[in-house]
Amino acid sequence: MEGGSELRRWDELIPDALGMIFCNLSLQELLTVIPRVCKSWGKAVAGPYCWQEIDIDEWSTYCPPEHILPMVRMLIMRSGRSLRKLCVSSIPTDEAFSFIADHAGSLQELRISRSEISNSIVEKCAQKLSTITFLDVSYCLNIEASALEAIGKHCKSLLVLHRVMHPLTVEEKICQDDEAHAIATTMPKLKQLELAYALVSTEAVLKILLNCRQLEYLDLRGCWNVKLEEDFLKDKFSGLKVLGPIVEDSYEMELFENCTDFSETSSYLAWEVLAHQLDGVNYEDDSDSFDEAWDDDEQRLEELELRFYEGFNGAVGDAWPAWPASP
């Protein structure tokens, strides 16, 4: 171009500017494509700018359980204690949840549905989650009323709670009124509450309504024991929107009979290799050691196939149960 216009080099952008741009990319691209472009981009994607909001919910739903903790550990460490949002499902161990809690100083939104974490670890770590305003513990079958009570006591700013169950898994439970009581007595600032398919009674729900006066939305789909008159709700709780208990959704229950375990021959990327190999690089070091580590990384990355989401509509995806979706 004529006129002496100056062309700006992408690799010379400051890291926080690069981070804002990279946040629009997929997890696959952030971890396996961007680091291969140049060193400055590799440093940016390894820093906290891209990892203040981490969403690996879809990936963690389908990956082998043993791969989840290495990935969570790597990404949280990259966030540099500036993590604001974390979405990861199917957490397999208390160790993973404890690690999340230890790095939750700035965390506001935590979604950990379908996790196998224990009731005791939630009680132990609840005080470390005091900054969260949004919590999703749907389909967490090992969590009970005492865990919810601990969360309510320590998370004073909690505004949204998702505690959705699956209609087949609640068959093992007798009643969840104790959970409703814990919510009612410790979470008065709630504005949105989802209890779909929970085994709660009308009395338990009324206690929530009376104690959580700021509630704007309540999901009671599939709560068959709850009987709330529409006129009563309009008169006493005019600003409240209630969904259910009648369910309009349809589920393909036969999918549960066809569920298959994760196959090592499926087309998902071997994230345990990625997590262990790439996280060892110190991107803050500008010395020759960085160059050597970067060269090693490039060689390893050449061996990785970029097949992150292939198969989501294949055998594994089709076999997965149809979980009730939030409206």
CATH number assigned to the domain comprising residue 200: 3.80.10.10
- Domain CATH number, residue 35: 1.20.1280
Q: Name the more confident of 259 and 280.
A: 280
Q: Tell me the pLDDT tens digit for each residue of 21-74.
A: 777 776 777 777 777 777 777 777 777 777 888 899 988 988 888 899 998 998
What is the number of domains present in the chain? 2
Any domain includes 280? no
Spatial distance between the Cα atoms of 129 and 111, rounded to a whole number of angstroms: 12
Mean pLDDT over each residue of the chain, to the nearest integer: 76
pTM of the full structure: 0.72
Any domain includes 254? no
Which pLDDT score, from 0 to 100, does residue 11 have? 59
**Contacts for 242 with CB less than 8 Å, ≥ 6 apart:** 218, 220, 228, 233
Query: Residue 154 above 80 pLDDT?
Result: yes
Which pLDDT score, from 0 to 100, does residue 249 have? 54
Residues 144 and 234 in one domain: yes
Residues 74 and 25 in one domain: no
Residues 134 and 209 in one domain: yes
Q: Tell me the pLDDT tens digit for each residue of 225-279.
A: 999 888 888 888 988 999 988 876 544 343 334 333 444 433 344 444 444 444 4
Any domain includes 118? yes
Whole-Å CA distances, 84 to 57, 105, 115, 224, 301: 15, 9, 20, 36, 29
Any domain includes 312? no
Residues 138 and 43 in one domain: no
Which residue intervals of the chain are DSSP H helices?
15-22, 27-32, 39-46, 57-62, 68-78, 94-102, 119-125, 145-154, 177-186, 202-211, 230-236, 271-278, 288-302, 315-319
Q: Tell me the pLDDT tens digit for each residue of 186-198.
A: 999 999 999 999 9
Query: Residue 220 above 50 pLDDT?
Result: yes
Q: Which of 248, 282, 302 lies at the terminal end of a domain, its last residue?
A: 248
Residues 44 and 109 in one domain: no
Any domain includes 315? no
Any domain includes 326? no
Q: Tell me the pLDDT tens digit for each residue of 309-320.
A: 333 333 333 333
Residues 149 and 237 in one domain: yes
Query: Residue 209 above 80 pLDDT?
Result: yes
Which pLDDT score, from 0 to 100, does residue 27 have? 75
Residues 125 and 172 in one domain: yes
* Torsion on CA atoms 24, 27, 29, 35, rounded to nearest 10: 100
Beta pairing class for 241-243 and 217-219? parallel
Top-confidence range, 70-84, 173-187, 253-267: 173-187
Q: Name the more confident of 91 and 168.
A: 91
Q: Which of 248, 271, 306 lies at the terminal end of a domain, its last residue?
A: 248
Angle at 121 between CA 98 and CA 123, to 5 degrees: 120
Tokens of 75: 């990404």
Any domain includes 173? yes
Which pLDDT score, from 0 to 100, does residue 252 have? 38
Q: Which of 227, 248, 269 lies at the terminal end of a domain, its last residue?
A: 248
Residues 66 and 168 in one domain: yes
Residues 14 and 115 in one domain: no
Any domain includes 164? yes
Q: What is the mean pLDDT of residues 287-295?
A: 46
Residues 173 and 34 in one domain: no
Residues 23 and 120 in one domain: no
The answer to whether 197 and 223 are in contact (CB under 8 A) is yes
Percentage of the chain modeled with pLDDT above 70: 68
Query: Residue 224 above 60 pLDDT?
Result: yes
Residue 119: exposed, middle, or buried by beta-carbon count in 10 A (0-12, 13-18, 19+)? middle
Spatial distance between the Cα atoms of 58 and 233, rounded to a whole number of angstroms: 37
Strand partners, 162: 136, 194
Percentage of the chain modeled with pLDDT above 90: 43
- Supply the range of the domain harboring residue 38: 10-50
Residues 56 and 102 in one domain: yes
